[in-house]
Amino acid sequence: MPKFNIHLAVKLLDEAIREMKIPYLSKPHVKCDPFRTLIACILSLRTKDKTTYAASERLFAHADTPLLMLKLGEKKIAKLIYPVGFYNQKSKQIINICKTLLEKYDGKVPNKIDELLKFNGVGRKTANLVVTEAFNKPGICVDTHVHRISNRWGYIKTKTPDETELILRKKLPEKYWINFNRLLVTYGQNLCLPLSPKCSQCKISSMCKKIGVKKK
């Protein structure tokens, strides 16, 4: 098996996903608005992309600013975002985030990871995603796809998403940071599936160690 070449892998993945459906959070009309990116990312946690798409569009059709979101109220937001996972809890988080934005940030989403982590319900995945997608600043957003595929390749060996982010920050060339999540999430949703990945269709299969793959 040839040694894993991250430069070649990124190049081939970038070519491959051009024919695939990109995640909702990477769509132009979402990533151009930091507030929309932040709220949509909250909705996406433990929720399938298709459900996130529908719920986000319903919500933003009624309110697309922190002030308008507060006017909707917790119950209305919960109704609009159902059936995303933990919709009642997320409704409360959205209200708290909007209050903080208006009280401390003049209604504008901050563009620094450390500031975003101060918000209720915002973890490293969400903070990194907002920074990379909405502000085009260096960051590594590690979700289940990034964690799983990076380890499946044998490129890294980690046990948790937080550990994966730490190691990738040391090992992954910075020029790939911003797009790494988009590449692996798209690839993970369409071809490098959690169970029974489509290895026969994968252009980097020959250098992938397929760690943890039992059926393909």
Which residues are tagged catalytic?
125, 143
Q: Please give the angle made by the CA atoms of 168, 177 and 135, to the nearest 5 degrees.
A: 135
In SS3 terms, 61-112 reads as HHCCCHHHHHHHCHHHHHHHHCCCCCHHHHHHHHHHHHHHHHHHCCCCCCCC
Residue 187 per-residue DSSP state: H
Q: Are 137 and 111 in contact (CB under 8 A)?
A: yes
Q: What are the start-end ranges of the H helices in the chain?
A: 6-16, 28-31, 34-44, 49-62, 66-72, 74-81, 87-104, 113-116, 124-129, 135, 144-153, 161-171, 177-190
Q: Which of 131, 139, 106, 177 minimizes the C-alpha distance to 34?
A: 131
